[in-house]
Chain A
Amino acid sequence: MTKTNTVEEIVSQPYKYGFITEIETEKIPKGLNEDVIRLISAKKNEPDFLLKFRLRAYKQWLKMEEPDWSGLTYSKVNYQDLVYYAAPKKDIKKQSLDEVDPKLLETFEKLGIPLSEQKRLSNVAVDAVFDSVSIATTYKEKLAEHGVIFCSISEAISEYPNLVEKYMGTVVPINDNFFAALNSAVFSDGSFVYIPKGVECPMELSSYFRINSGDTGQFERTLIIAEESSSVSYLEGCTAPMFDTNTLHAAVVELVALDDASIKYSTVQNWYAGNEEGIGGIFNFVTKRGECRGLRSKISWSQVETGSAITWKYPSCVLQGDNSIGEFYSIALTNNFQEADTGTKMIHIGKNTKSKIVSKGISAGKSKNSYRGLVSISPNAEGARNYSQCDSMLIGDKARANTYPYIQSKQPQSNIEHEASTCRISEDQLFYLQSRGIDFEESVSMLISGFCSDVFNELPMEFASEADKLLALKLEGSVG
């Protein structure tokens, strides 16, 4: 009896989104200084407050150092060797999809995100971001009927400057961390969502981020505001072509939930991860944070992280309002030389605040997959409760999994539970499935889906099957 496949082989499959779109782009010269920031701001016709915001952030950034506490190993980025603004040459401001370069529409169609009227996904509004620029947002009019604003952040800056000024930088301050400061200085585009009081957003909102240029950093900025008693579910997807150099992606996402509001934010991250030798791939340094400012508000993060050479990401919840709820559901799959350091921070400030963390890490190849999380209970957070569950699955004998759960409680009337486990795909489980006629590859992918099912159940319907397919793709044999 010979085993022709190993689990390791199955988790290695070619990246399907690695193509490059040949399109004329306008790029500014490499390098970063005040003039570059002024240039970006001018290109985008930004109001003065934003230029000042950027410049303040830049000054902070100059004083900061790149963090190394995560233990991620990568060659440091030369920030003067990056392009900070790239955009398709054709007119950026377009009124309708007919004016969007067909090549761009084709690109998104190839990625499974059709934008044209006839083919667009039903019940999902999409904001498509190509390199530094949002190229199209679907279903805008339909959303506007409900008072929902869904547009690129650039558009929000010019159309709704008061909202942007009021909220931007209030959840993630410009000096929050090295990458957040950099983003605040140079961010190019991203999505903006505003849900008015009492409105339940009638459809899923989704942003799709595509990096196309090789030497361009992508710095997107997303801001979501849910007014009193409103709710929204937002999805985010990402891919990039294969380059043998590393591309930097440093995003900032800010969420604000007021009284009784709820925001569900889901990510499927499939940036290019580099090749089997660990060459190339995206450096993904992301700051995501939500503030439950209102009473009984709720923010729920779910993420499926499969791409990027380096992932540094801790979507967090600040539970300020009494009785507010924070959730974090995560699947992180790493292979080859990928490294992921991801987790969450649940900051309990209000009384009777609740948080739940479910993290599933799968490490294959020579990859390193760490869960890093903080549960902090402040002295005033009487009755705060947290439940954390961190499970790791190792595939092969060269992969590593770590769990770093930090717990700080200054409130004796709080309740914190933490469970952690590490497992391997068991030969007996595999044999059991195979002995029922299910082939090896499908058995492995069934076991991994099963391992992740707690998190899959939390993804929005439209996304759950997408995410399951993505994992299955990652797990597909080298055939095809």
Chain B
Amino acid sequence: MISSTSETILSIKDLHASVEDQEILHGVNLLVKEGEIHAIMGRNGSGKSTLSKVIAGHPSYKVLSGSIQFKGTNILELEPEERARIGIFLGFQYPVEIPGVSNLEFLRVATNSRRKELLASELDTFEFEDLVKERLKIVEMDPAFLERSVNEGFSGGEKKRNEILQMALLEPVISILDETDSGLDIDALRIVASGINTLSKPNTATILITHYQRLLNEITPDFVHIMANGKIIKTGSKELAIDLERSGYDFINKDAKDKEMAT
């Protein structure tokens, strides 16, 4: 699946970033290539969510130094909407509710802005309804959700499915899914995971941010990274996640520190 000739999608080098004048990321390095699934694990406050927001361009987060390249292009100067249009997708940990804005219309406008970038034709209301009904199946969502306001009154699981529906419509090149598994029961987790698997293509990549191993039982990562104190301190294969589940973060921390001292 992954060959050495695979194209690099995302390249993050020595990234330092702050929010409210407090530095959270202290030099993150990450390389993601086509076809790869990466998992980033770590405790609360280790910087995982910050990293995802910085990649997507949240205005509250400031990049102090370092670089983020998407397919060889620096994206730090791009607005969040420009990043989205070129194929960077952030699945939110807590998708916000937007009262009064129809979910269907929101999805249509979003889809069309991505299609415009891909030089595909704009979809009118009828064409879009056909498309969205087909994609709804991926997340086993009831079409009734389309008629409601964006995420308003959705349960935690419904919000997460709505995120994956957006991913299915926007067909991103790289999807960063921030704790998509949190708050899901077993059935919902399985649906969401199978959606993500279905949407993973040889020319796309996925970064899963998660606390728990259980999502990784459903989606097999190629790489597992452990974040602590705003850095990736350890990278391994999926076995790393299993070790982590068994021994806890303290063990990994200690292990990483030992290595750091040895080198």
In the bound complex, CA of A377 to CA of B143 (Å): 44
In the bound complex, CA of A2 to CA of B110 (Å): 22
In the bound complex, CA of A432 to CA of B162 (Å): 13
- Interchain CB contact under 8 A, B100 and A450: yes
How many residues in A have their beta carbons less than 8 Å from beta carbons of B? Answer: 28
CB-contact partner of A451 in B79, B81, B99, under 8 A: B99
- Interchain CB contact under 8 A, A433 and B100: no
- Interchain CB contact under 8 A, B109 and A442: yes
In the bound complex, CA of A434 to CA of B92 (Å): 13
Q: A435: CB under 8 A from chain B?
A: yes
- Interchain CB contact under 8 A, B80 and A435: yes
Number of inter-chain CB pairs below 8 Å: 88
Shortest beta-carbon distance, A340 to chain B, in Å?
A: 21
Q: B245: CB under 8 A from chain A?
A: no
In the bound complex, CA of A136 to CA of B146 (Å): 45
Stretch at the interface among B32-40, B54-62, B195-203: B54-62
Interface size grouping (class) on chain B: 20 to 34
A411-449: CB near B (< 8 Å → 1, else 0) gives 000000000000000111101111111111011001101
For chain B, residues 106 to 127, give those with C-beta under 8 angstroms from any C-beta of chain A. Answer: 106, 109-110, 113-114, 117
Across-interface contacts of B76 in A (CB, < 8 A): 1
- Interchain CB contact under 8 A, A427 and B109: no
- Interchain CB contact under 8 A, B109 and A438: yes
CB-contact partner of B81 in A1, A426, A434, under 8 A: A434
- Interchain CB contact under 8 A, A449 and B113: no
In the bound complex, CA of A4 to CA of B81 (Å): 13
B72-95: CB near A (< 8 Å → 1, else 0) gives 000011011101110001101001
Across-interface contacts of B110 in A (CB, < 8 A): 433, 436-438
In the bound complex, CA of A450 to CA of B101 (Å): 5
- Interchain CB contact under 8 A, B170 and A440: no
A302-317: CB near B (< 8 Å → 1, else 0) gives 0000000000000000
CB-contact partner of B114 in A4, A437, A450, under 8 A: A437
A-B pairs with beta carbons under 8 Å apart, 24 shown = A1-B59, A4-B79, A426-B96, A433-B98, A434-B79, A434-B80, A434-B81, A435-B58, A435-B80, A435-B83, A435-B90, A436-B110, A437-B114, A438-B81, A438-B113, A439-B81, A440-B81, A446-B109, A447-B98, A449-B100, A450-B99, A450-B149, A453-B99, A453-B100
Having A426-B96, A436-B110, one finds 7 other A-B pairs with CB under 8 Å, namely: A1-B62, A432-B96, A435-B57, A437-B81, A437-B114, A449-B101, A450-B98
Binding site for B on A (CB under 8 A): 1-4, 426-429, 431-440, 442-443, 446-447, 449-454
Q: Which 3 A-B residue pairs are closest in the complex by CB-CB distance?
A: A450-B100, A453-B100, A437-B113
